[in-house]
Amino acid sequence: MTKAVFIDGEVGTTGLQIRERLQGRDDIRLISLPEAVRKDRAARLDAFAEADVSILCLPDPAVHEVAPDLKAMGARVIDASTAHRVDPDWVFGFPEMAKGQRAAIAGAQRVSNPGCWSTCAIALIRPLVAAGIIDPAHPPAISGVSGYTGGGKAMIEEFESGKVAGSFLYGTGQAHKHLPEIRTHGLLDRVPVFVPSVGHYAQGMAVAAELELGRDGIAAAEAALAEAYAGEAFVAVVPAAADQPRVMPQRLNGTNRLELSVHGNPETGAATLVAVLDNLGKGASGAAVQNLNIMLGIEEGRGL
Q: Phi, psi at residue 270, to the nearest 5°? A: -75, 135
Q: Considering only 20-28, 75-83, 101-109, 239-247, which stretch makes contact with ligand NDP by CB under 6 A?
A: 75-83
Secondary element (H or E) of residue 106: helix 101-106
Q: Considering only 88-96, 229-237, 246-254, 278-286, which stretch makes contact with ligand NDP by CB under 6 A?
A: 278-286
Q: Are 96 and 286 a contacting pair, CB within 8 Å?
A: no
Among residues 145, 264, 152, 156, the alpha carbon closest in space to that of 194 is found at 145
Neighbours of 32 (CB within 10 A): 15
Q: Which is nearer to ligand NDP, 213 or 277 (CB)?
A: 277
Binding mask 12-51 for ligand NDP (x = CB under 6 A): xxxx----------------------xx------------
198 contact, one of ligand NDP, ligand X2W, none, CB 5-8 Å limit per kind: ligand X2W
196 contact, one of ligand NDP, ligand X2W, none, CB 5-8 Å limit per kind: ligand X2W
SS3 string, 264-279, reads EECCCCEEEEEEEECC
Among residues 142, 195, 193, 150, the alpha carbon closest in space to that of 172 is found at 195
Q: Which is nearer to ligand NDP, 64 or 215 (CB)?
A: 64
Report, as residue numbers or ranges, the catalytic residues. 116
Q: Which is nearer to ligand X2W, 28 or 275 (CB)?
A: 275
Among residues 226, 283, 293, the alpha carbon closest in space to that of 301 is found at 293
Q: Are 250 and 175 a contacting pair, CB within 8 Å?
A: no
For ligand NDP, the binding residue among 70, 111, 116, 218 (CB under 6 A) is: 116
Q: Shortest Cβ distance from residue 202 to ligand NDP (Å)? A: 10
Tell whether residue 249 is a contact of ligand NDP (CB under 6 A): no
At position 258, the amino acid (one-letter code) is L
12 contact, one of ligand NDP, ligand X2W, none, CB 5-8 Å limit per kind: ligand NDP
Residues engaged in binding ligand X2W (CB under 6 A): 81-82, 115-116, 146, 150-152, 155, 177-178, 196, 198
Query: Exposed, middle or buried by CB within 10 Å (0-12, 13-18, 19+), for 46?
Result: middle
Q: Please state whether beta strands 194-198 and 141-146 pair in parallel, antiparallel, or not at all (unpaired).
A: parallel
**How far apart, in whole angstroms, are the C-alpha atoms of residue 198 and residue 169?**
7
DSSP code at position 192: P
Q: Which is nearer to ligand NDP, 57 or 122 (CB)?
A: 57
Q: Which is nearer to ligand X2W, 133 or 179 (CB)?
A: 179
Q: Which of residues 76-95 bind ligand NDP (CB under 6 A)?
A: 80-82
The residues that touch ligand NDP, with contacts defined as CB under 6 A, are 8-9, 11-15, 38-39, 57-60, 62, 80-82, 115-116, 149-150, 152-153, 279-280, 283-284
